[in-house]
A and B are shown apart, each in its own frame.
Chain A
Amino acid sequence: MSEPRFAVGDRVRTSTVDPPHHTRLPRYARGQVGEVVEVQGTWPLADDRAQGFADPRVEPVYTVRFPAADLWGPPGGHWVQVELWESYLEVAT
């Protein structure tokens, strides 16, 4: 996997899955809708590397911006940017 599925400006929803292994989708950002603000390039999926897979999936990584009020409730007032591998994301409908 190398061609990014998402582009800057796309709205994405993060996975709600809590996997039984290391992952880099912070718990507070699960099941949230954010906006892609940067496409970073590709890296081996941290989840696969942490499990010692010989051939980890290589995926695009995105910088995704969330309004703090969505993550934590009011009053919010700031942005939280999180860097997320593509398999953590789906199209927000």
Chain B
Amino acid sequence: MSGQHSNSEIAVRVRRLEERLIGAGLTSDDQLDAIIGRVASGSPANGARVVARAWVDPAYRGRLLADGNRALEELGFSMGHGPQPQRFTVVENTPTRHNVLVCTLCSCYPIALLGPSPSWYKSEAYRARVVREPREVLAEFGLELPADTEIVVHDTSAESRHMVLPVRPDGTDGLAEAELAALVTREGLIGTAVV
């Protein structure tokens, strides 16, 4: 970022790259700072808030599944992080259907709702294996799904970003929305865990 300077080797290299891009007229310090600022505001707590609202408010859940972008705006979130607008879709787990997310081409990820992606999400092993043998990969994450559970792997290959809507845990009827949000994990929003 233009306002922060570090002498570390990687920071120097990043700054050199930024200066080349700015010099070529492809971006500006202001643009870079704005994008970094928006990315830094992303957190799985945001996704958890969306999930908790969907759990307590069936009408909101319906709107979320029908038009994710618009439903995000109701809670003050947006997908306007990148150089072009991204579509936001929420895929709903059910007792018989489990969704899991990956980007086999690179590491596309809904940063606004989930924060920076975990290193394993970007690893070649996860990307190569989860499309081929999701049941085994999920088991390695500690998630043993019943044999008759339908698994859908969503490969993020275009301009949509996805988030999983986990099944609301049993025994949570008395919990308030904020308490429910506290139960939701980043892995639950990616689909490598249940909540």
- Considering only CB atoms, which chain A residue lies closest to B106 in the complex? A24
Instruction: Report the minimum CB–CB distance from B185 to chain A (whole Å).
Output: 22
Instruction: Report the minimum CB–CB distance from A54 to chain B (whole Å).
Output: 13
Contacts of B151 in A (CB 8 A): 77-79
Determine which residue in A29, A65, A80 has the highest number of CB atoms from chain B within 10 A of its CB, and name it.
A80
CA–CA, A83 and B89, complex, Å: 12
Interface of A: prevailing SS? strand
Contacts of A77 in B (CB 8 A): 135, 151
Contacts of A24 in B (CB 8 A): 105, 157-158
Contacts of A84 in B (CB 8 A): 157-158
Sorting the interface of chain A by its residue count into under 10, 10 to 19, 20 to 34 or 35 or more gives: 20 to 34
The size of the chain B interface, using a CB distance under 8 A, is 19
- Asked whether any CB of chain A lies closer than 8 Å to the CB of B30, the reply is no
Contacts of A80 in B (CB 8 A): 131, 152-153, 155
- Asked whether any CB of chain B lies closer than 8 Å to the CB of A26, the reply is yes
A79 touches B157 (CB 8 A): no
- Asked whether any CB of chain B lies closer than 8 Å to the CB of A44, the reply is yes
Instruction: Report the minimum CB–CB distance from B62 to chain A (whole Å).
Output: 17
- Considering only CB atoms, which chain B residue lies closest to A24 in the complex? B157
Residue of A61, A72, A78, A79 touching B158 (CB-CB under 8 A): A61
B135-176 vs A, CB cutoff 8 Å, 1 = contact: the mask equals 100000000000000111111111110000000000000000
Residues of B within 8 A of A (CB): 84, 87, 104-105, 131-132, 134-135, 150-160
21 A-B contacts, Cβ less than 8 Å apart?
A24-B157, A24-B158, A25-B157, A26-B105, A40-B87, A43-B159, A44-B84, A63-B160, A78-B135, A78-B150, A79-B150, A79-B151, A80-B153, A81-B152, A81-B155, A82-B155, A83-B155, A83-B156, A83-B157, A83-B159, A84-B157
